[in-house]
Amino acid sequence: MTAPAFRIDRTDRDGSVRLAFSGRFESTALAPLWSELRSEMLGSGGPFVFDLTGASAMDGGSMALLLGLKVELESARLRVEVVGATGGVSRLLAILGNAPPKPTLKGPPGRIGILDQIGQFAALIGSRFAENLTYIGDVTASAARAIVKPSTFNGRDLGRLVERTGADGLPIVLLINLLVGVTLGIQGAIQLEQYGGNIYIADLVGIVVTRSIGPLMTAIIVAGRSGAAFAAELGTMKVSEEVDAIRTIGLDPVGFLVLPRVLALCIAVPLLALFADVAGVFGGMIVGITSLDLSPDNYLDRTRIALELRHVGTGLVKSLFFGLAIAVIACRRGLATQGGAEGVGRSTTSAVVTIIFWVVVLEAIFTSLFQVFGV
Amino acid sequence: MIRVKDLAIGYGTRVLMQGLEFEVPRGDVFVILGGSGCGKSTLLRNLVGLERPLRGTIDIEGVTHFAEVGAPPRFGVMFQSGGLFGSMTLWENVALPLQTWTALEPQAIDVVVRSKLKIVGLDGYENHLPNEISGGMKKRAGIARALALDPPLLFLDEPSAGLDPISAVELDETIVTLNESLGMTTVIVTHELQSIFKIARNCIMLDREAKGIIARGDPRQLRDHSTDPRVLRFFNRQSTRSGAA
Ligand SMILES: Nc1ncnc2c1ncn2[C@@H]1O[C@H](COP(=O)(O)OP(=O)(O)O)[C@@H](O)[C@H]1O
Ligand SMILES: [Mg+2]
């Protein structure tokens, strides 16, 4: 290390301590010496004079250390005078040293305790509930407007949205539902083989996939793909003032942004679910052929017998509502975004979590309803 | 003409400004000055109807309730960040208000859109997306969109902030030219001074601590004759530092 380009000389005279600073001060070089100097000063009785006459330059860090010491000594009721600053040093002193720093306006963003979080959450639910009702009202109203007067509907994005949420998601929906069909097939095969009911594997896979698992898996995939995308998109538009711009043009953000997305998912999710059904049945068939000695013809014939229209139909009805819920919730979270990039992240996360929660709730509600009405 | 009476603005329980009173005569270029974070954008959002005043009234040409959805806009607004629709080209951005609110044929809309882009010096950029152009160009495109329906009243939030000095000067010139040639009332929010002296005949200066207007009038008069230390500090700080937003 090169020798520091500065000196600090102490002279005691008439009971006062004079520190003469000379040379060029850099905080990196000053720092190692500072704690020693600081404790030495705090140990001596004042008054003090900090003489900067010889200091030709000082960086911001050195000046901060110096003034920090001054404040410390002063709070110990010792008098400190800073004299002799010239040129750049005096300008720096004027910026940092004239007035004491303002007190910190608010505490650091505290770690919120778990009880506080629960309390805040409870308080939020009430106001959120009202806001959400208003929003659902807005969506319904603009849907009604669009039906009465189709020219108010923003159709320009619809095709692109259906393509992005539907067609682009098809490969992953097919793959996952194929694997689900295989899994169901293997689990079922183990049981059915014991009773010699090999052929009923087609019933099991076909009905479970079309009534329940196919639409559910599809909804969860769409939540992760399109739900997240909608929330992030609308959230970004919110924080970059695009949503405000829509309002100042006299358009309704709900009608302009939310409605096309709702319609897109109401089209795309049932279609995807239909493909999911096919993939799931195919997955079951692979298991039937490879480990239960069934022929493809056998398997498909049995599937045709087992699968009634109502099985597929209930699944598709459910999918329609899943699509509706995904779009409505995702857009709501997007439009409620506050703050910058971090806010967008929060909205996206909360959109996906909320959607999955409600999809599962809807699944339970529909399953019991279909049960009660015997469809 | 805009008439503001006993206006208080803020968010929730947090009051940013109170007791605001001012008038903007028709055809004027009116500047709202103040340091960053003092509530200038919030005031603008109240003026254009995006936020509700905590108290008081805003009267624009005799109307106190505005910005209702589903009606043609009564004025043009350019937002601090431009607020351009990221998924639309500049042409589509400017065309949207026209397609929504006029019965113009596609060919006529094209003519109007191109002329608006030309006014702000963006002819040729019709098919660019907002993320393909610079910050200054975005603001100019935002102005073009605000001008789309030829509003009698134009609100601009920090038009020159964050721009390099040359773009900033060009934008100021554009604003002056627009005001002189089209005669529209223009309300500009800014914390930058270089432009103010050139474009403003009238201003109010907001102050965060005072929570209100600390000075009003011709900015040159204020700079040369004000004795209020807060006003002088604002002008001095601005003349020694430049550019930064
Ligand atoms: N949506 C909002 N909710 C709550 N506080 C906000 C909101 N927007 C801005 N603020 C706060 O209001 C104050 C003024 O903001 P703003 O009007 O943008 O200031 P300026 O435009 O003068 O820089 C800031 O402290 C900001 O944090
Ligand atoms: Mg602002």
User: Quick check: helix, strand or coil at residue B61?
Assistant: coil
pLDDT for position A85: 85
pLDDT for position B244: 39
The predicted model gives A360-364 an average pLDDT of: 95
Torsion of CA B166, B168, B169, B170, to 10 degrees: 90
The predicted model gives A237-253 an average pLDDT of: 91
Q: Residue A237's pLDDT band (boundaries 50, 70, 90)?
A: very high
A9 touches chain B (CB under 8 A): no
* Distance between CA atoms of residues A224 and A28, nearest Å: 49
B10 C-alpha to ligand 1 centroid (Å): 8
Ligand 1 binding residues, C-beta < 6 A: B 11, 16, 34, 36-42
Look at A21-25, A26-30, A304-308, B17-21 and tell me which has the smallest mean pLDDT: A26-30
The predicted model gives B46-64 an average pLDDT of: 88
pLDDT for position B69: 64
Q: In chain B, pLDDT over 90 holds for what percent of residues?
A: 37
Question: Which candidate from B79, B83, B101 shows the least CB-CB separation from A250?
Answer: B101
Q: Which of A160, A201, A164 is nearest to A183 (CA)?
A: A201
pLDDT for position B245: 37
* Distance between CA atoms of residues A119 and B36, nearest Å: 34
pLDDT at A304 over 60: yes
Mean pLDDT, chain A, integer: 88
pLDDT for position B102: 86
Residue A293: count other Cβ atoms within 10 Å of its Cβ.
Answer: 9
Torsion of CA B132, B134, B137, B141, to 10 degrees: 40
Burial tier of A318 (Cβ tally within 10 Å: 0-12, 13-18, 19+): buried
pLDDT at B242 over 50: no
User: Quick check: helix, strand or coil at residue B215?
Assistant: strand
Q: Residue B23's pLDDT band (boundaries 50, 70, 90)?
A: very high
Question: Which candidate from B72, B81, B145 shows the least CB-CB separation from A240?
Answer: B81
* Distance between CA atoms of residues B85 and B77, nearest Å: 14
pLDDT for position A1: 46
Residue, of A38 and A316, whose pLDDT is higher: A316
Residue A298 near residue A223, CB atoms below 8 Å = no
Mean pLDDT, chain B, integer: 86
Give residue limits of the domains in chain A: 5-97, 147-372
The H or E element spanning position B77 is: strand B76-78
The predicted model gives B2-31 an average pLDDT of: 92
Residue B183: count other Cβ atoms within 10 Å of its Cβ.
Answer: 11
Q: Which CATH architecture has domain A5-97?
A: 2-Layer Sandwich (3.30)
pLDDT at B243 over 60: no
Question: Which candidate from A241, A250, A251 shows the least CB-CB separation from B83?
Answer: A241
pLDDT for position B68: 61
A259 touches chain B (CB under 8 A): no
Residues of B with CB under 8 A from a CB of A: 45, 48-50, 67, 69-73, 75-77, 79-87, 96-97, 100-101, 145
Residue A280 near residue A288, CB atoms below 8 Å = no
User: Quick check: helix, strand or coil at residue B78?
Assistant: strand
Ligand nearest the Cα of residue B15 is 1
- ipTM of this model? 0.81
Asked if the Cβ–Cβ distance from A245 to B83 is below 8 Å, we say: yes
Residue, of B45 and A105, whose pLDDT is higher: B45
pLDDT at A221 over 60: yes
Q: Tokens for B125, please give them.
A: 């950029």
